[in-house]
Structure 1
Amino acid sequence: MLKTTWRPFWTWFPPLALLPLVGLASLYHWQMADFEADLRRTEGLVIEAQTAVVTRKLDRLLADIRILAAQNELAAFLDTADPSWLPKIAQEYLAVSRWSQVYDQIRYLDEDGMEVVRVNFNDGHPAIVRDSDLQNKHDRYYFTETLALSAGEIYASPLDLNIENGALERPYKPMIRVGTPVFDRHGNRRGIVLVNFLAQQLLDAILDVDAASISASMLLNAEGYWLLSPDPSLNWGFMIPERRDARMQSRYPEAWHAMNQSPSGHVLTDRGLFSFRTLTPMQHGHRALASETSPSAPPATDQWILVAHVSEASLGQTRSHLMFSLIPLGVVILLLLAVGLRASSVARIERKRHQAQLEKMARMDAVTGVANRLSLEEQLAREHERARRHARTLALLYIDLDGFKAINDTLGHLVGDQVLKEIATTLATECRSEDVVGRLGGDEFAVVLLEPLDMATAALVAERIRDRIAALRWDRHAVTASIGLALYPDHASEVPELIRLADTAMYASKDAGKNRVTLASDVAASAPVAGERETIASGV
């Protein structure tokens, strides 16, 4: 009897037990696929954000070397050879070193390679080097290569370690040397301006981006040597003999092969997931120098490769977590399945939250926090289509700051960034929450006013913005705003023409004396835009 009672159970239990096992197995594979897809997207956004950080810092470096080369005091010295200008040049270099905190040395060398002015950073205590301590660098690779350039060209050395007296400086000091030749007013070559960029700040900025990610950041040069890795003992193998074999192709050959096949992407190997992108740092207006370790020959390429590596251990931990949460049967299966799904949901929410933060960073201007150029393009196109479909109006304000360069040059980039932040805050305060405020770049902003009652209302908002900006002060310095205003559909029915008219009106404001608002209707429709400049119309 007992045997007969158990017979139906053993007949039906095994096949029925297969159903939840098959379901749990399918759920496991689905969750792993979803996790890996989300992980690829998230790591791709990490790489994008790191690329933006690198580009922004190197663009600032190029801008600084151009500003130093165009220094008024230096130009006066080059034209007159009057040594009374040298202390003023030195004071300018000292101010740049103190405010920027990123240059180990700032130098002007004459055409014979002799240092004329040099400021040393001294680990946060900038100082002007005495004349007796200045050195002749005529035989150094960076001087000869930079001096041979044409006006406006810039040389940048590879990212490597600083060498002092023929040996690596300890502790290691990552460095990029950037220089450009300078000329007097007659076009005579009079030497070079050179800065030593403390590249550790660049490497630290890369690490800061992925602080909340499960990946480990790497930076490689074109030969596969690590410039940055989770294991410091692998770094700088091309400069440290005992690390000569520490290369990506030796430790992760499958990942290295994928990086050589495509400029960006993802590759899953038995060593983990690698997300990567190839960069050409400072690719506009420069040529790479020879390396400090091999001064006679320039590198084959000056490319870098950004890598985000999620180790196999991290992936295996996720796989094990999912598997063990789905093993128990019956009620235990259901309970543990609920716990597993909850854990997976929390992990997924965290990933999506981090992904959303990265997406916001990619669409937000890093200095001011308002919409960046890409985001503004998308929102303007979307609002134009909505206005067209529902027969509504929208106004476009083009805003260019008057006097910003003087503040930037006088008070430094940090104060300049603060000016841009306060201008952006003023624009947001004077607009409604549904309006769009964005920074196009430099000292240019744009505002999209949604559904203004009429041109008079839009003009009133523009005047109020102009007044608020003119009232701001920074150490007794002020800026004003030249504003151009165009209304859809009164002035233009398509976005490119609306932008052109707002841009033209803005330049009309500048031509009329600045610090004013000009309506598109007050400017001839055929009036050319003052100067050739890229606008967001190209993106729309």
Structure 2
Amino acid sequence: MNIGRFNRYYLLFLIPLAVLTSLTFWIIHNQTMDRVTSELKLESNILAGQVRDQLNLSFAEIHSDLKLLTEHYKLHQLDSLIKPRNVINELQELWISVAEQRARYDQIRFLDDQGQETIRINYSNQKAAATPEQKLQSKRHRYYFIEAINTPSGEIWNSLLDLNIERKQIELPLKPTIRFSTRVNRHDGQPDGVIIINYLAKNLLDKFRRVTASYSGHALLLNWQGYSLVSPNAANDWGFMFPDSPQSRVSLEHETAWQATQNNKQGQLLNQMGLYTYNQIDPSGNNEAASKCNSCLWLMLHVPNQLIEVKLWRELSKTIPLLLLSFFLFAIILGVALWHREKRQAHERQIQELNRNISYEHELFLNSPGVIAKLRNEIGWPIEFISSNIEELLDYDADYFASGKVTYSSMIDSRYLEKYTQETLEAENKGSNSFSHSPYLIVGRNKRSRWIQETVHAIRDKLGKLTGFYVHINDVTPLKEAEERLTQSRDYIQKVVDTIPDPTMVIDIDSHELKLINQSALDLYNNGQAIDPEITCYRLSHKRSNPCRGQLDPCPIKQIMEKRTAVSVVHKHYDHQGNVIHVDVRATPIFDDSGENIVQIIESHRDITETVEMEKQLQHIAETDRLTQIYNRMKFDEELKNQIAWASLTNNRFGLIMFDLDHFKKINDTYGHDMGDKVLINTVDLLNGRIRKSDVLARWGGEEFMIIAPLIDTKELRSLVESLRNAVQQYEHEGVGSITASFGASVVRPSDNIHSLLKRVDSALYESKQKGRNRSTVF
């Protein structure tokens, strides 16, 4: 065999293999980078949404409290130039109750239209108290009064989030504060004054820290100038409040990312500094606020580029060993194939040389590689002739066989002799002239075993009797060893795939059958048990008998065939116990050798059930009154708006009922707030059992409630309201006894909007109270 030519050919094929391996690594590197950044983007978006929703929920509660204080003010009709002392005292008691219940407002104040404090409630050490009249001050020239009195009626103004200052000094310990205010108008539309509450923002900032504690990168809360309010480095926080301290601003240190926030209220940016996710949060609740909002807060999540690189190489460390193993495996297979080729050519030359010295009957095999032998059809198959290259295969020379010392059966490994004999007898019984044996082991002089693949041609006499065989023997040992290495490689690939924590599977695009599945997927979908060979992806994960086709479960295969690139969809799956889980399915196409046709896809499933459930819980929290577990005022306003729009489109009517519990303050004062809360809960349970399933019950504020009654006329509405009033009156509350409620109601008119309908119902309730309470009035 020509060793030099073998080396030249081997290097000629090895160089393209190395180039292909490098290209494969480059592709894997880019795909892994895309996957890592996509996962970080998804994590950042989810966290940003959670933080935004929680902060907006906190601000919505503040807005609700501010509206409640405004309603207190309107109900007591402190709408005159002269404020009656008894009315002020009653308002002070109500606002003290609100301050102590909420435990989040440093001050609650009412300033008249000239900026003079009329009411000021201070909260400290879990107690609230009203400021004596002689200590009330004028705030006419303070910026928050000027801003608040000029804010349109019905809108909420808020200040910057900064540190509280007392006597021109920053109060210690630090007290982060936001002021919220709304203007109150007199009946003639002129401003009567403003209600201002100082919100203690420490709880809000602590909530921000808790929610972002487990984030992969850095979570920052910034003001409109880019100064940090909450950051991983607490020494940089509130720098704008301390001019003498070293100043650190995100707008300077991360200029490109900060510039992006000035153009969009939310988004993501990936540059050489890392991944940025930002969101503008407006405490005033104005979703249409411009990006230049001085009182707005900015949430910025930053994953540094170094962390992205660490995650990238952590992922690549799972792939590089497999890639290198594949390279060396293919290099070995290439070497074996070329070696076998060179060796086969050498055997061919030996056979051609032998062909000049043997008889015509051997010419059938002269052009074939390997060893040529003639066997007699006798016990043990004695060797009548064998080519000289047998010595290279078995370390016996040809003369040794000619002496009759060794039969062919004596060289066959005992484990394969029975099968070899059986195949020979079957071919003889069938009268076959040519047949092949299954690969078997043959043992040489030095006990060296070789794998043999042979072709047999039968020799018959003139009467057709089988007298012997021509045997063409090929050494297939390198191929068998390569097959064994390939089997080991497949086992290794399966073990590598089993280390992936996410359920992962390879799917045939035509049959939807699973060609490869890791242990994580088996544990999730099949209780860790092996799957049937022909099981489909939709049978395993969806527990159904047909592929995904609906809008709620789009099939990744169909999308990949259209886009010819990786896709990501969210599916509802079922685990092995039948429990519903929500997964983020990431699917990548696998092309055939031509690179044109997609034959399989790789799916990776990420369980996002907790994220989906958390979104549902946040939605429930945002819409539900915490005490009574019915709709809160914000959700009720949305439902009322929808009902008015529906009535306008369909010309159908609905009724609106407003009621509150009579003398409820006395219950709180006499029996305590816990008993008062229990009375509210019992009343809600009572009315939920009395109203129709289509009716909507909501807490309007304090002891006030609202009911939307669809498809009802005035007569039916009057009957419903009176039945509810009687039910409330007849119910006996444990420890309190019976209470009463006053009701006002009206059916919507074609010309109604939310304001006109609420005003009419409020007037009906007012009439019920004026007539002695425990009454119902329907306009």
- The alignment's TM-score, normalised by the length of structure 2, stands at 0.46
Q: What is the CA deviation profile of residues 325-350 of structure 1, one whole-angstrom value per residue up to 9, with x for unaligned ones?
A: 22223259747843663479689756
The 5-angstrom pairing of residues 276-291 of structure 1 reads: 276-282=278-284, 284=286
**Mapped pair 1:115 → 2:371:** no
| AA partner of residue 366 (structure 1) | A
**Mapped pair 1:532 → 2:753:** yes
Q: Is the contact made by 2:122 and 2:128 (CA closer than 8 Å) also made in structure 1?
A: yes
Q: Is the contact made by 1:482 and 1:510 (CA closer than 8 Å) also made in structure 2?
A: no
Q: Is the contact made by 1:397 and 1:462 (CA closer than 8 Å) also made in structure 2?
A: no
Q: What residue is the counterpart of 1:227 in the other structure?
A: 229
Q: Is the contact made by 1:75 and 1:184 (CA closer than 8 Å) also made in structure 2?
A: no
Q: What residue is the counterpart of 2:758 in the other structure?
A: none
SS in structure 2 opposite 1:238?
helix
Q: Is the contact made by 1:45 and 1:358 (CA closer than 8 Å) also made in structure 2?
A: no
Task: Specify which of 622, 634, 645 is matched with residue 366 of structure 1.
Answer: 622
Change (3 A) 1:238 1:401: farther
Q: What residue is the counterpart of 2:330 in the other structure?
A: none
Q: Is the contact made by 2:32 and 2:312 (CA closer than 8 Å) also made in structure 1?
A: no
Displacement of 1:231:
2.1
For residues 207 and 605 of structure 2, what CA distance do their matches in structure 1 show?
A: 26
Q: What residue is the counterpart of 1:57 in the other structure?
A: 58
SS in structure 2 opposite 1:245?
coil
Displacement of 1:93:
1.3
Change (3 A) 1:270 1:6: same
| AA partner of residue 245 (structure 1) | Q
Change (3 A) 1:342 1:482: closer
SS in structure 1 opposite 2:238?
coil
Q: What residue is the counterpart of 2:37 in the other structure?
A: 36
The 5-angstrom pairing of residues 176-195 of structure 1 reads: 176-182=178-184, 191-195=193-197
Structure 2 residue ranges without an equivalent (≥5) = 326-488, 505-519, 521-583, 585-603, 643-651, 725-747, 756-779
| AA partner of residue 263 (structure 1) | K
Task: Specify which of 196, 199, 208 is matched with residue 198 of structure 2.
Answer: 196
For residues 260 and 23 of structure 1, what CA distance do their matches in structure 2 show?
A: 41
Q: What residue is the counterpart of 2:250 in the other structure?
A: 248
Aligned length: 441
Task: Specify which of 259, 262, 273 is matched with residue 260 of structure 1.
Answer: 262
Displacement of 1:309:
1.9
Q: Is the contact made by 2:106 and 2:199 (CA closer than 8 Å) also made in structure 1?
A: yes
Structure exhibiting the larger radius of gyration computed from Cα positions: 2
SS in structure 2 opposite 1:70?
helix
For residues 309 and 170 of structure 1, what CA distance do their matches in structure 2 show?
A: 31
Q: What is the CA deviation profile of residues 329-372 of structure 1, one whole-angstrom value per residue up to 9, with x for unaligned ones?
A: 32597478436634796897567445534654576563449999
For residues 653 and 494 of structure 2, what CA distance do their matches in structure 1 show?
A: 58
Q: What residue is the counterpart of 1:85 in the other structure?
A: 87
For residues 274 and 205 of structure 2, what CA distance do their matches in structure 1 show?
A: 23
For residues 132 and 286 of structure 1, what CA distance do their matches in structure 2 show?
A: 42
**Mapped pair 1:326 → 2:547:** no
Q: Is the contact made by 1:402 and 1:514 (CA closer than 8 Å) also made in structure 2?
A: no
Q: What is the CA deviation profile of residues 241-292 of structure 1, one whole-angstrom value per residue up to 9, with x for unaligned ones?
A: 145732122111121222233332211122221111234441559999xxxx
Q: Which has the higher contact order (CA 8 A, sep 6+)?
A: 1
SS in structure 2 opposite 1:81?
coil
For residues 180 and 90 of structure 2, what CA distance do their matches in structure 1 show?
A: 22
For residues 423 and 188 of structure 1, what CA distance do their matches in structure 2 show?
A: 38
Q: Is the contact made by 2:112 and 2:194 (CA closer than 8 Å) also made in structure 1?
A: yes
Displacement of 1:104:
0.8
For residues 283 and 233 of structure 1, what CA distance do their matches in structure 2 show?
A: 30
Q: What residue is the counterpart of 1:306 in the other structure?
A: 299
SS in structure 1 opposite 2:240?
coil
**Mapped pair 1:338 → 2:559:** no
Change (3 A) 1:303 1:145: closer
Q: Is the contact made by 1:157 and 1:177 (CA closer than 8 Å) also made in structure 2?
A: yes
Structure 1 residue ranges without an equivalent (≥5) = 289-298, 381-395, 431-460, 485-501, 518-526, 535-540
Displacement of 1:76:
4.5
- The alignment's TM-score, normalised by the length of structure 1, stands at 0.63
Q: Is the contact made by 2:164 and 2:175 (CA closer than 8 Å) also made in structure 1?
A: yes
Q: Is the contact made by 1:117 and 1:129 (CA closer than 8 Å) also made in structure 2?
A: yes
| AA partner of residue 37 (structure 1) | S
Q: What residue is the counterpart of 2:104 in the other structure?
A: 102
- Supply the RMSD in Å over aligned alpha carbons: 5.4
SS in structure 2 opposite 1:71?
helix
For residues 128 and 287 of structure 1, what CA distance do their matches in structure 2 show?
A: 35
Change (3 A) 1:399 1:342: farther
SS in structure 2 opposite 1:241?
coil
Q: Is the contact made by 2:36 and 2:312 (CA closer than 8 Å) also made in structure 1?
A: no
Change (3 A) 1:358 1:242: farther
SS in structure 2 opposite 1:120?
strand
Which range moved further: 313-322 or 159-168?
A: 313-322
Displacement of 1:318:
0.8
Change (3 A) 1:319 1:343: farther
SS in structure 1 opposite 2:127?
coil
Change (3 A) 1:511 1:54: farther
| AA partner of residue 175 (structure 1) | T
Change (3 A) 1:408 1:270: farther
For residues 17 and 664 of structure 2, what CA distance do their matches in structure 1 show?
A: 75
| AA partner of residue 338 (structure 1) | V
Q: What residue is the counterpart of 1:27 in the other structure?
A: 28
Identity of aligned residues (%): 21
